[in-house]
Chains A and B, each alone.
Chain A
Amino acid sequence: MNTNEKKEILQPVSMPVEGVAGFTSAWRSQWPKLDSEKCNGCLLCWIFCPETLISREDRSIDLRYCKGCAVCARECPVNAIEMIREGEE
Protein backbone atom coordinates (compact mmCIF):
# COMPACT_ATOMS: atom_id res chain seq x y z
CA MET A 1 0.00 0.00 0.00
CA ASN A 2 1.19 3.44 -0.88
CA THR A 3 1.53 5.34 2.39
CA ASN A 4 0.61 8.61 0.72
CA GLU A 5 -2.65 7.19 -0.49
CA LYS A 6 -5.57 8.55 1.56
CA LYS A 7 -7.56 5.53 2.66
CA GLU A 8 -11.18 5.47 3.66
CA ILE A 9 -12.07 3.81 6.98
CA LEU A 10 -14.01 0.71 5.99
CA GLN A 11 -14.13 -0.92 9.43
CA PRO A 12 -17.48 -0.75 11.25
CA VAL A 13 -16.46 1.72 13.96
CA SER A 14 -18.61 3.87 16.26
CA MET A 15 -17.47 6.96 18.11
CA PRO A 16 -18.02 7.90 21.76
CA VAL A 17 -20.81 10.32 22.54
CA GLU A 18 -22.93 11.29 25.53
CA GLY A 19 -26.51 10.09 25.67
CA VAL A 20 -26.40 7.08 23.35
CA ALA A 21 -29.83 6.11 24.62
CA GLY A 22 -31.18 9.68 24.50
CA PHE A 23 -32.26 11.53 27.60
CA THR A 24 -32.93 8.50 29.77
CA SER A 25 -34.86 10.58 32.30
CA ALA A 26 -37.83 9.55 30.16
CA TRP A 27 -37.54 6.06 31.69
CA ARG A 28 -38.07 7.06 35.28
CA SER A 29 -41.04 7.22 37.60
CA GLN A 30 -39.20 8.92 40.46
CA TRP A 31 -36.31 11.32 40.84
CA PRO A 32 -33.72 11.94 43.56
CA LYS A 33 -33.80 15.14 45.56
CA LEU A 34 -30.74 15.98 47.65
CA ASP A 35 -31.00 17.79 50.95
CA SER A 36 -27.64 19.59 51.12
CA GLU A 37 -28.20 20.34 54.78
CA LYS A 38 -28.25 16.64 55.62
CA CYS A 39 -25.48 15.61 53.19
CA ASN A 40 -22.27 14.61 54.99
CA GLY A 41 -20.20 14.45 51.80
CA CYS A 42 -19.40 10.72 52.07
CA LEU A 43 -19.56 10.45 48.23
CA LEU A 44 -21.25 7.04 48.20
CA CYS A 45 -23.96 8.43 45.91
CA TRP A 46 -21.26 9.76 43.59
CA ILE A 47 -19.42 6.46 43.28
CA PHE A 48 -22.50 4.24 43.00
CA CYS A 49 -24.44 6.26 40.42
CA PRO A 50 -24.33 3.98 37.35
CA GLU A 51 -24.66 6.93 35.00
CA THR A 52 -22.06 9.28 36.49
CA LEU A 53 -24.73 11.89 37.15
CA ILE A 54 -23.75 13.11 40.61
CA SER A 55 -21.06 15.74 40.98
CA ARG A 56 -18.24 14.89 43.35
CA GLU A 57 -17.82 18.59 44.13
CA ASP A 58 -21.32 19.63 45.12
CA ARG A 59 -23.45 16.48 44.69
CA SER A 60 -25.62 18.25 42.11
CA ILE A 61 -27.47 15.67 40.02
CA ASP A 62 -27.77 15.73 36.22
CA LEU A 63 -31.43 14.81 36.05
CA ARG A 64 -31.48 14.74 32.24
CA TYR A 65 -30.18 11.19 32.28
CA CYS A 66 -31.33 9.97 35.72
CA LYS A 67 -33.30 6.73 35.32
CA GLY A 68 -34.60 6.91 38.86
CA CYS A 69 -32.93 3.71 40.08
CA ALA A 70 -32.69 5.18 43.60
CA VAL A 71 -29.41 3.43 44.41
CA CYS A 72 -28.13 6.83 45.61
CA ALA A 73 -31.04 7.26 48.02
CA ARG A 74 -30.81 3.64 49.16
CA GLU A 75 -27.09 3.86 49.90
CA CYS A 76 -27.04 7.32 51.47
CA PRO A 77 -26.08 6.70 55.12
CA VAL A 78 -27.78 9.89 56.35
CA ASN A 79 -30.94 9.76 54.22
CA ALA A 80 -30.08 13.02 52.51
CA ILE A 81 -31.61 11.87 49.21
CA GLU A 82 -35.34 11.50 48.88
CA MET A 83 -37.02 9.91 45.88
CA ILE A 84 -39.89 12.06 44.60
CA ARG A 85 -42.60 10.65 42.33
CA GLU A 86 -42.24 11.96 38.81
CA GLY A 87 -44.43 15.01 38.26
CA GLU A 88 -44.50 15.96 41.91
CA GLU A 89 -42.67 18.92 43.45
Chain B
Amino acid sequence: MSKRIETGNTACALAVLAAGIDYMAAYPITPQTTLSEKIANFAATGEFTGKYVLVESEHSAMSAVAAASAVGARTFTATSSQGLLHMHEILHYASGGRLPVVMANINRAVLAPWCLYADHQDSISQRDTGWLQLFCSNHQEIYDSVFLAYKVAEKVDIPVMISYDGFLLSHSLLPFETVDDSVIKQYLPDRDPAWRLHPDIGGNFSNVAMAAEYSAYRHRLADDTLKSLQIFRDSIKEYENLTGRKQPDLIEASGTENANVYLLSMGSMASEMELVATELTKQGINASALKLRLYRPFPSDELVNILPDGSTLIVLDRNIAYGHPGGVLYMEARSALYESDKKIRVLGGSVGLGGVDLTVSVLLNEVNRLLEVAKA
Protein backbone atom coordinates (compact mmCIF):
# COMPACT_ATOMS: atom_id res chain seq x y z
CA MET B 1 0.00 0.00 0.00
CA SER B 2 1.41 3.38 -0.96
CA LYS B 3 0.25 6.97 -1.07
CA ARG B 4 0.20 8.69 -4.46
CA ILE B 5 -0.78 12.07 -5.79
CA GLU B 6 -2.07 11.70 -9.32
CA THR B 7 -4.92 12.77 -11.58
CA GLY B 8 -8.22 10.92 -11.39
CA ASN B 9 -7.58 9.38 -14.80
CA THR B 10 -4.22 8.06 -13.64
CA ALA B 11 -5.80 6.66 -10.47
CA CYS B 12 -8.27 4.84 -12.69
CA ALA B 13 -5.53 3.58 -15.04
CA LEU B 14 -3.46 2.26 -12.12
CA ALA B 15 -6.45 0.36 -10.80
CA VAL B 16 -7.30 -1.06 -14.22
CA LEU B 17 -3.72 -2.29 -14.54
CA ALA B 18 -3.83 -3.87 -11.08
CA ALA B 19 -7.21 -5.49 -11.83
CA GLY B 20 -5.45 -7.72 -14.36
CA ILE B 21 -7.54 -6.99 -17.42
CA ASP B 22 -7.06 -9.13 -20.52
CA TYR B 23 -8.57 -6.90 -23.16
CA MET B 24 -9.13 -3.21 -23.70
CA ALA B 25 -10.48 -1.24 -26.65
CA ALA B 26 -10.88 2.52 -26.57
CA TYR B 27 -11.42 5.62 -28.64
CA PRO B 28 -10.21 9.04 -27.50
CA ILE B 29 -12.58 11.75 -26.27
CA THR B 30 -12.05 14.67 -23.90
CA PRO B 31 -11.80 14.33 -20.90
CA GLN B 32 -11.30 10.55 -21.05
CA THR B 33 -8.25 10.78 -23.33
CA THR B 34 -5.51 10.90 -20.72
CA LEU B 35 -6.87 7.66 -19.24
CA SER B 36 -6.64 5.68 -22.50
CA GLU B 37 -3.24 7.31 -23.16
CA LYS B 38 -2.02 6.21 -19.75
CA ILE B 39 -2.98 2.60 -20.40
CA ALA B 40 -1.42 2.81 -23.89
CA ASN B 41 1.79 3.82 -22.10
CA PHE B 42 1.48 0.82 -19.78
CA ALA B 43 1.11 -1.35 -22.90
CA ALA B 44 4.15 0.27 -24.53
CA THR B 45 6.33 -0.27 -21.46
CA GLY B 46 5.16 -3.85 -21.08
CA GLU B 47 3.45 -3.26 -17.74
CA PHE B 48 0.12 -4.09 -19.37
CA THR B 49 0.40 -7.46 -21.11
CA GLY B 50 -3.16 -7.91 -22.33
CA LYS B 51 -4.54 -6.89 -25.71
CA TYR B 52 -5.19 -3.17 -26.30
CA VAL B 53 -7.01 -2.33 -29.54
CA LEU B 54 -7.27 1.25 -30.78
CA VAL B 55 -10.64 1.21 -32.46
CA GLU B 56 -12.25 3.78 -34.72
CA SER B 57 -15.30 4.69 -32.63
CA GLU B 58 -16.91 4.18 -29.25
CA HIS B 59 -19.56 2.02 -30.88
CA SER B 60 -16.76 -0.30 -31.98
CA ALA B 61 -14.99 -0.01 -28.62
CA MET B 62 -18.04 -1.30 -26.78
CA SER B 63 -18.71 -3.92 -29.47
CA ALA B 64 -15.14 -5.21 -29.18
CA VAL B 65 -15.04 -5.37 -25.38
CA ALA B 66 -18.48 -7.01 -25.23
CA ALA B 67 -17.28 -9.68 -27.69
CA ALA B 68 -14.00 -10.16 -25.81
CA SER B 69 -16.01 -10.51 -22.62
CA ALA B 70 -18.10 -13.23 -24.29
CA VAL B 71 -14.85 -15.09 -24.97
CA GLY B 72 -14.14 -14.89 -21.24
CA ALA B 73 -11.71 -11.99 -21.08
CA ARG B 74 -11.71 -9.38 -18.30
CA THR B 75 -12.32 -6.26 -20.34
CA PHE B 76 -12.19 -2.50 -19.93
CA THR B 77 -13.04 0.58 -21.92
CA ALA B 78 -13.52 4.23 -21.08
CA THR B 79 -15.35 7.15 -22.62
CA SER B 80 -17.18 10.41 -22.02
CA SER B 81 -20.24 12.31 -23.18
CA GLN B 82 -20.91 11.78 -26.92
CA GLY B 83 -18.81 8.63 -26.82
CA LEU B 84 -21.12 7.13 -24.22
CA LEU B 85 -24.15 8.18 -26.23
CA HIS B 86 -22.60 6.59 -29.34
CA MET B 87 -22.20 3.34 -27.36
CA HIS B 88 -25.80 3.33 -26.19
CA GLU B 89 -26.95 0.54 -28.53
CA ILE B 90 -24.18 -1.77 -27.38
CA LEU B 91 -24.72 -0.97 -23.70
CA HIS B 92 -28.06 -2.74 -23.98
CA TYR B 93 -26.32 -5.59 -25.80
CA ALA B 94 -23.70 -6.03 -23.07
CA SER B 95 -26.24 -6.10 -20.23
CA GLY B 96 -28.83 -8.18 -22.09
CA GLY B 97 -26.03 -10.58 -23.03
CA ARG B 98 -24.92 -10.71 -19.37
CA LEU B 99 -21.37 -9.70 -20.26
CA PRO B 100 -19.46 -8.32 -17.23
CA VAL B 101 -17.70 -5.45 -18.99
CA VAL B 102 -16.39 -2.62 -16.80
CA MET B 103 -16.23 0.89 -18.20
CA ALA B 104 -15.17 4.27 -16.84
CA ASN B 105 -17.29 7.17 -17.99
CA ILE B 106 -15.67 10.50 -17.33
CA ASN B 107 -18.72 12.68 -17.02
CA ARG B 108 -19.10 15.49 -19.51
CA ALA B 109 -22.03 17.53 -20.82
CA VAL B 110 -23.66 16.45 -24.08
CA LEU B 111 -24.23 18.19 -27.43
CA ALA B 112 -25.96 20.61 -28.35
CA PRO B 113 -24.31 23.02 -27.91
CA TRP B 114 -20.81 21.67 -27.49
CA CYS B 115 -19.54 21.79 -23.94
CA LEU B 116 -16.43 20.13 -22.55
CA TYR B 117 -17.12 20.27 -18.83
CA ALA B 118 -18.71 18.03 -16.27
CA ASP B 119 -22.31 17.14 -15.80
CA HIS B 120 -24.07 13.81 -15.45
CA GLN B 121 -26.44 13.93 -18.41
CA ASP B 122 -24.33 11.36 -20.28
CA SER B 123 -24.45 8.71 -17.51
CA ILE B 124 -28.03 9.24 -16.48
CA SER B 125 -29.15 8.97 -20.11
CA GLN B 126 -27.98 5.33 -19.83
CA ARG B 127 -30.04 4.71 -16.71
CA ASP B 128 -32.28 2.07 -18.25
CA THR B 129 -29.64 0.19 -20.23
CA GLY B 130 -29.33 -2.43 -17.49
CA TRP B 131 -25.83 -1.35 -16.44
CA LEU B 132 -24.90 -1.04 -12.80
CA GLN B 133 -23.63 2.49 -12.15
CA LEU B 134 -21.13 3.67 -9.57
CA PHE B 135 -20.35 7.36 -9.02
CA CYS B 136 -17.15 8.67 -7.45
CA SER B 137 -16.52 11.84 -5.50
CA ASN B 138 -12.74 11.63 -5.14
CA HIS B 139 -9.68 9.79 -6.43
CA GLN B 140 -9.69 7.15 -3.70
CA GLU B 141 -13.21 6.18 -4.72
CA ILE B 142 -12.20 6.06 -8.38
CA TYR B 143 -9.32 3.72 -7.56
CA ASP B 144 -11.29 1.45 -5.23
CA SER B 145 -14.41 1.39 -7.40
CA VAL B 146 -12.54 -0.30 -10.26
CA PHE B 147 -11.97 -3.44 -8.15
CA LEU B 148 -15.46 -3.32 -6.71
CA ALA B 149 -16.86 -3.03 -10.24
CA TYR B 150 -15.09 -6.16 -11.51
CA LYS B 151 -15.93 -8.04 -8.34
CA VAL B 152 -19.64 -7.44 -8.67
CA ALA B 153 -19.83 -7.52 -12.48
CA GLU B 154 -18.29 -10.99 -12.66
CA LYS B 155 -20.40 -12.28 -9.77
CA VAL B 156 -23.71 -11.27 -11.31
CA ASP B 157 -22.71 -11.16 -15.01
CA ILE B 158 -23.92 -7.60 -15.42
CA PRO B 159 -21.71 -4.77 -16.76
CA VAL B 160 -20.69 -1.90 -14.48
CA MET B 161 -20.10 1.75 -15.32
CA ILE B 162 -17.89 3.87 -13.07
CA SER B 163 -18.58 7.57 -13.48
CA TYR B 164 -16.51 10.51 -12.28
CA ASP B 165 -16.56 14.18 -13.16
CA GLY B 166 -14.54 15.34 -16.15
CA PHE B 167 -11.66 17.73 -15.32
CA LEU B 168 -12.88 18.26 -11.73
CA LEU B 169 -11.69 14.74 -10.90
CA SER B 170 -10.18 13.37 -14.13
CA HIS B 171 -7.54 16.07 -14.45
CA SER B 172 -7.05 17.32 -10.88
CA LEU B 173 -4.26 16.05 -8.65
CA LEU B 174 -5.43 14.50 -5.41
CA PRO B 175 -3.91 12.02 -2.98
CA PHE B 176 -5.06 8.40 -2.74
CA GLU B 177 -3.76 5.10 -1.41
CA THR B 178 -3.02 2.19 -3.72
CA VAL B 179 -3.45 -1.45 -2.73
CA ASP B 180 -0.78 -4.11 -3.13
CA ASP B 181 -1.17 -6.33 -6.19
CA SER B 182 -1.19 -9.47 -4.03
CA VAL B 183 -4.22 -8.16 -2.14
CA ILE B 184 -5.97 -7.32 -5.39
CA LYS B 185 -5.24 -10.80 -6.74
CA GLN B 186 -6.86 -12.25 -3.67
CA TYR B 187 -9.90 -10.00 -4.04
CA LEU B 188 -10.13 -10.49 -7.81
CA PRO B 189 -8.96 -13.93 -8.97
CA ASP B 190 -8.88 -14.60 -12.74
CA ARG B 191 -12.27 -14.62 -14.37
CA ASP B 192 -13.82 -18.06 -14.66
CA PRO B 193 -17.06 -17.73 -16.63
CA ALA B 194 -19.76 -20.39 -16.67
CA TRP B 195 -20.05 -20.00 -20.47
CA ARG B 196 -17.67 -18.62 -23.03
CA LEU B 197 -17.67 -18.34 -26.81
CA HIS B 198 -15.50 -21.28 -27.76
CA PRO B 199 -15.84 -24.33 -30.02
CA ASP B 200 -15.18 -26.62 -27.03
CA ILE B 201 -18.30 -25.24 -25.36
CA GLY B 202 -20.53 -24.20 -28.27
CA GLY B 203 -23.70 -22.17 -28.36
CA ASN B 204 -25.34 -19.53 -30.45
CA PHE B 205 -25.22 -16.30 -28.46
CA SER B 206 -28.28 -14.15 -28.72
CA ASN B 207 -30.14 -15.44 -31.75
CA VAL B 208 -33.78 -14.51 -32.18
CA ALA B 209 -36.02 -15.12 -29.16
CA MET B 210 -39.77 -15.30 -29.06
CA ALA B 211 -41.63 -13.17 -26.52
CA ALA B 212 -41.68 -15.79 -23.76
CA GLU B 213 -37.92 -16.43 -23.84
CA TYR B 214 -37.13 -12.75 -24.33
CA SER B 215 -39.22 -11.56 -21.42
CA ALA B 216 -37.78 -14.29 -19.18
CA TYR B 217 -34.26 -13.02 -19.90
CA ARG B 218 -35.31 -9.42 -19.26
CA HIS B 219 -37.05 -10.18 -15.98
CA ARG B 220 -34.06 -12.19 -14.88
CA LEU B 221 -31.78 -9.22 -15.59
CA ALA B 222 -34.11 -6.93 -13.64
CA ASP B 223 -34.21 -9.34 -10.68
CA ASP B 224 -30.46 -9.86 -10.68
CA THR B 225 -29.90 -6.10 -10.85
CA LEU B 226 -31.86 -5.67 -7.63
CA LYS B 227 -30.09 -8.64 -6.04
CA SER B 228 -26.74 -7.06 -6.88
CA LEU B 229 -27.38 -4.50 -4.09
CA GLN B 230 -26.51 -7.11 -1.49
CA ILE B 231 -23.51 -8.24 -3.55
CA PHE B 232 -22.26 -4.65 -3.59
CA ARG B 233 -22.64 -4.46 0.21
CA ASP B 234 -20.85 -7.78 0.73
CA SER B 235 -18.11 -6.96 -1.75
CA ILE B 236 -17.43 -3.61 -0.07
CA LYS B 237 -17.13 -5.40 3.29
CA GLU B 238 -14.74 -7.98 1.79
CA TYR B 239 -12.58 -5.19 0.35
CA GLU B 240 -12.53 -3.43 3.71
CA ASN B 241 -11.45 -6.64 5.43
CA LEU B 242 -8.69 -7.31 2.91
CA THR B 243 -7.32 -3.77 2.74
CA GLY B 244 -8.09 -2.71 6.29
CA ARG B 245 -9.39 0.54 4.92
CA LYS B 246 -12.89 1.85 5.63
CA GLN B 247 -15.00 2.18 2.48
CA PRO B 248 -17.89 4.57 1.99
CA ASP B 249 -21.31 2.92 2.18
CA LEU B 250 -23.64 2.87 -0.83
CA ILE B 251 -25.04 6.06 0.67
CA GLU B 252 -22.39 7.61 2.91
CA ALA B 253 -23.66 10.05 5.54
CA SER B 254 -21.39 12.69 7.01
CA GLY B 255 -21.99 15.31 9.66
CA THR B 256 -24.52 15.07 12.45
CA GLU B 257 -26.68 12.04 13.04
CA ASN B 258 -30.40 12.64 13.39
CA ALA B 259 -30.17 15.89 11.48
CA ASN B 260 -33.14 17.98 10.39
CA VAL B 261 -31.87 18.56 6.87
CA TYR B 262 -30.13 16.02 4.60
CA LEU B 263 -28.28 16.94 1.41
CA LEU B 264 -28.18 14.14 -1.18
CA SER B 265 -25.94 14.29 -4.26
CA MET B 266 -23.43 12.27 -6.28
CA GLY B 267 -20.12 12.89 -8.03
CA SER B 268 -17.55 15.50 -7.03
CA MET B 269 -20.35 17.75 -5.83
CA ALA B 270 -20.93 15.31 -2.97
CA SER B 271 -17.54 16.24 -1.48
CA GLU B 272 -18.50 19.93 -1.47
CA MET B 273 -21.84 19.08 0.10
CA GLU B 274 -20.06 17.90 3.24
CA LEU B 275 -18.78 21.46 3.66
CA VAL B 276 -22.23 22.84 2.90
CA ALA B 277 -23.67 20.67 5.69
CA THR B 278 -21.04 22.04 8.08
CA GLU B 279 -21.94 25.61 7.05
CA LEU B 280 -25.65 24.96 7.57
CA THR B 281 -24.97 23.49 10.98
CA LYS B 282 -23.01 26.65 11.84
CA GLN B 283 -26.10 28.64 10.79
CA GLY B 284 -28.12 26.65 13.30
CA ILE B 285 -29.66 24.17 10.87
CA ASN B 286 -28.75 20.63 11.93
CA ALA B 287 -27.55 19.22 8.55
CA SER B 288 -25.95 16.09 7.17
CA ALA B 289 -24.55 15.38 3.65
CA LEU B 290 -25.43 12.13 1.89
CA LYS B 291 -23.09 10.92 -0.83
CA LEU B 292 -24.57 8.42 -3.26
CA ARG B 293 -22.00 5.89 -4.41
CA LEU B 294 -24.26 3.46 -6.26
CA TYR B 295 -26.83 4.99 -8.59
CA ARG B 296 -27.96 1.76 -10.32
CA PRO B 297 -29.43 -0.20 -8.60
CA PHE B 298 -30.63 2.57 -6.33
CA PRO B 299 -30.04 1.79 -2.63
CA SER B 300 -33.54 2.72 -1.48
CA ASP B 301 -33.30 0.87 1.84
CA GLU B 302 -30.18 2.77 2.82
CA LEU B 303 -31.85 6.09 2.11
CA VAL B 304 -35.02 5.25 4.03
CA ASN B 305 -33.01 3.96 6.99
CA ILE B 306 -30.77 7.01 7.24
CA LEU B 307 -33.51 9.63 7.14
CA PRO B 308 -35.30 10.29 10.45
CA ASP B 309 -39.05 10.83 10.46
CA GLY B 310 -39.94 14.47 9.88
CA SER B 311 -36.63 15.46 8.31
CA THR B 312 -36.16 17.38 5.08
CA LEU B 313 -34.21 15.96 2.15
CA ILE B 314 -32.63 18.32 -0.37
CA VAL B 315 -31.50 16.56 -3.56
CA LEU B 316 -29.12 18.34 -5.91
CA ASP B 317 -28.56 16.87 -9.35
CA ARG B 318 -25.90 17.64 -11.94
CA ASN B 319 -28.43 16.69 -14.62
CA ILE B 320 -31.98 17.35 -15.70
CA ALA B 321 -34.84 14.88 -15.89
CA TYR B 322 -36.69 16.70 -18.65
CA GLY B 323 -40.41 16.93 -18.02
CA HIS B 324 -39.96 16.54 -14.29
CA PRO B 325 -38.82 19.19 -11.82
CA GLY B 326 -35.16 18.66 -10.89
CA GLY B 327 -32.93 15.77 -11.85
CA VAL B 328 -32.98 11.99 -11.77
CA LEU B 329 -31.70 11.61 -8.23
CA TYR B 330 -34.62 13.72 -7.02
CA MET B 331 -37.00 11.33 -8.79
CA GLU B 332 -35.23 8.30 -7.34
CA ALA B 333 -35.32 9.69 -3.81
CA ARG B 334 -39.00 10.56 -3.95
CA SER B 335 -39.77 7.15 -5.38
CA ALA B 336 -37.73 5.39 -2.69
CA LEU B 337 -39.42 7.29 0.13
CA TYR B 338 -42.98 6.91 -1.12
CA GLU B 339 -43.44 3.48 0.45
CA SER B 340 -41.91 4.58 3.74
CA ASP B 341 -44.07 5.41 6.76
CA LYS B 342 -41.71 8.25 7.56
CA LYS B 343 -42.92 11.71 6.71
CA ILE B 344 -40.10 13.35 4.82
CA ARG B 345 -40.22 16.54 2.79
CA VAL B 346 -38.17 16.13 -0.44
CA LEU B 347 -37.01 19.03 -2.61
CA GLY B 348 -34.71 18.98 -5.59
CA GLY B 349 -32.86 21.17 -8.04
CA SER B 350 -30.53 20.87 -11.01
CA VAL B 351 -27.19 22.64 -10.63
CA GLY B 352 -23.70 22.65 -12.12
CA LEU B 353 -24.78 21.84 -15.66
CA GLY B 354 -22.04 22.05 -18.27
CA GLY B 355 -19.48 22.32 -15.50
CA VAL B 356 -20.88 25.43 -13.76
CA ASP B 357 -18.60 25.78 -10.76
CA LEU B 358 -20.23 24.41 -7.62
CA THR B 359 -18.48 26.21 -4.82
CA VAL B 360 -19.73 25.90 -1.27
CA SER B 361 -21.40 29.33 -1.51
CA VAL B 362 -23.20 28.44 -4.76
CA LEU B 363 -24.46 25.20 -3.26
CA LEU B 364 -25.39 26.91 -0.01
CA ASN B 365 -27.48 29.46 -1.90
CA GLU B 366 -29.32 26.70 -3.75
CA VAL B 367 -29.92 24.72 -0.54
CA ASN B 368 -31.19 27.83 1.25
CA ARG B 369 -33.48 28.62 -1.68
CA LEU B 370 -34.96 25.12 -1.50
CA LEU B 371 -35.32 25.36 2.27
CA GLU B 372 -37.33 28.57 1.74
CA VAL B 373 -39.56 26.68 -0.72
CA ALA B 374 -39.97 23.97 1.91
CA LYS B 375 -41.15 26.50 4.46
CA ALA B 376 -43.64 28.12 2.08
Contacts and interface: CB of A to CB of B under 8 A. Distances in A.
A/B contact in complex, CB under 8 angstroms: yes
Residues of A in contact with B, size category: 10 to 19
Given A1-B191, A1-B192, A11 B157 contact: yes
Interface in A4-20: 7-16
Contacts, number: 49
A9 B204 contact: no
B178 to A, nearest CB: 23
B175 interface: no
Interface stretch (B96-104, B118-126, B283-291): B96-104
B224 interface: yes
Nearest to B157: A10
Contacts of B207: 14
Nearest to B220: A10
Contacts of A12: 96-98, 205-206, 209, 213, 217
Nearest to B70: A11
A7 B204 contact: no
B203 A15 contact: yes
Contacts of B204: 13-16
A9 B202 contact: no
B189 interface: yes
Contact of A3 (B70, B157, B192, B206): B192
A66 to B, nearest CB: 24
Tell me what chain A mostly uses at the interface: helix, strand, loop, or mixed.
Answer: loop
Contacts of A3: 189, 192
B338 interface: no
Contacts of A8: 194
A13 B191 CA distance: 19
A15 B155 CA distance: 24
A7 B192 CA distance: 9
B205 A13 contact: yes
B212 to A, nearest CB: 13
A16 B203 CA distance: 7
Contact of B98 (A2, A10, A14, A16): A10
Contacts of B192: 1, 3, 7
Interface string B90-127: 00000011110000000000000000000000000000
B154 interface: yes
B193 interface: yes
Interface in B62-113: 70, 96-99
Given A12-B205, A13-B205, A16-B202, A7 B193 contact: yes
B6 to A, nearest CB: 29
Nearest to B221: A10
A10 B193 CA distance: 10
30 contacts: A1-B154, A1-B155, A1-B191, A1-B192, A3-B189, A3-B192, A7-B192, A7-B194, A8-B194, A9-B194, A9-B195, A10-B98, A10-B224, A11-B70, A11-B98, A11-B195, A11-B203, A11-B205, A11-B206, A12-B97, A12-B98, A12-B205, A12-B206, A12-B209, A13-B195, A13-B203, A13-B205, A13-B206, A15-B202, A16-B202
Given A13-B203, A16-B202, 7 more contacts: A1-B191, A2-B189, A10-B224, A11-B97, A13-B195, A13-B206, A16-B204
